Amino acid sequence: MTEAALAEPAPTPPPARRRNPWLFWIFVAVMLALTALFLGLAKWQLDRLHWKEGLIAEAAANMKLPPTPFPGPAQWPGIDLDAFSYRPVTVTGHYLPEQTIRVFVGLGDDAKGEFSGPGYWIMTPFALDGGGTVFVDRGFVPQAAADAYADDKTLPTGTVTIAGATVPTEEAGPFTPPADTSKRIDWFRNIERMKAMLPASLMPVAPVYIDLPAGPRGALPQGGETDIDFPNNHLGYVYTWLGFALTTVIMLAEWVRRQFAAKTDGADAPAD
């Protein structure tokens, strides 16, 4: 090693930056706020779980009630849809087969009848003797047989009394395609969308539709497909949000531990 190299002074280390105590407390506050948010979301999903379980229990109880006459149009604006869903009812009037709407569906293997797969719900308007119209879901037909039910001439003519269960309207999503009005085909059993295809003379339309019970085995349309086993994933969401809350607590505890360990070691570096 040369004398010049020996005489060269050692490089001076850069001055340590002072830790900003506000950054420490801001980070702690943010993590605690996130923990509180995740716990609040877990509580909200727990409340939704109890609500969904109560809804399923109420629907199952309603389905066991004896049939009662369906209320007339004068009572529809103030009807309690939660209490009046999945209630056995009777209606008197006549079918309007020429106004039938087919609603596309992929019926799964859990179908109650022998037919499943792609097909349609056959939604036929039923004009009530006391005025107004209610959609009647006559049941499922496979796609290959659906054309025969677009204007089913085999329906009884004249005044009849039928019995079924009231079902609330299905909600269409923001990306749901519009109905094919020329073929009278829709994608959801949504009453607002379906009634837009009816003439004004059939108004008003009931805020629920009626599911018909199952007929003989193998008969079409395949009724009796009323489903009260609603999707209920709220418990999984509860665990998800609790997991996020636990993660933020663990991350915060480890971060605080590292800050105090660095301080104990004499480090004066800024917080990570």
Summarised one tens digit per residue, pLDDT across range 20-53 is 778 888 999 999 999 999 999 999 999 988 888 8
Torsion of CA 110, 136, 165, 232, to 10 degrees: 40
pLDDT attached to residue 23: 85
Residue 184: its pLDDT value, please? 97
When the pLDDT of each residue in the chain is averaged and rounded to a whole number, the result is 88
Statement: residue 247 has pLDDT above 60: yes
> Helices in 13-122 by DSSP H: which ranges?
21-63
Please report the pLDDT score of residue 266 as a whole number: 59
CA distances from 258 to 20, 24, 267, 268 (A): 15, 12, 11, 12
In whole angstroms, how large is the CA radius of gyration of the chain?
32
Residue 48 is predicted with a pLDDT of 87
Place of tokens 């001076």: 12
For CA atoms 243, 245, 250, 255, give the dihedral sign.
positive
Kindly tell me if the per-residue pLDDT of 124 is higher than 90: yes
CB distance 140 to 154 below 8 Å = no
Which is more confident, 62 or 16?
62
Q: What is the pLDDT of residues 189-246, one digit of tens each?
A: 999 999 999 999 999 999 999 999 999 989 999 999 987 766 778 889 999 999 999 9
pLDDT of the residue at 262: 77
Please give the pLDDT value at position 222: 96
- Residue with more model confidence, 52 or 89: 89
pLDDT at 180: 96
Give Dmax (Cα) for the chain. 119
Percent of the chain predicted with pLDDT > 90: 62
Q: What is the pTM of this model?
A: 0.74
CA distance 92 to 88: 14
Residues 122 and 100: beta-carbon distance below 8 Å: yes
Give the residue with greater pLDDT, 5 vs 86: 86
What pLDDT was estimated at residue 220? Answer: 95
Query: Which pLDDT value is given to residue 24?
Result: 85
CB distance 102 to 178 below 8 Å: no
pLDDT attached to residue 2? 56
Q: Is 60 exceeded by the pLDDT of residue 152?
A: yes
The pLDDT value given to residue 93 = 98
Q: Is the pLDDT of residue 166 over 60?
A: yes
Classify each residue of 69-99 as buried b or exposed e, where b means 16 or more C-beta atoms within 10 Å of its C-beta.
ebeebeebeeeeeeebbbbbbebebbbbbeb
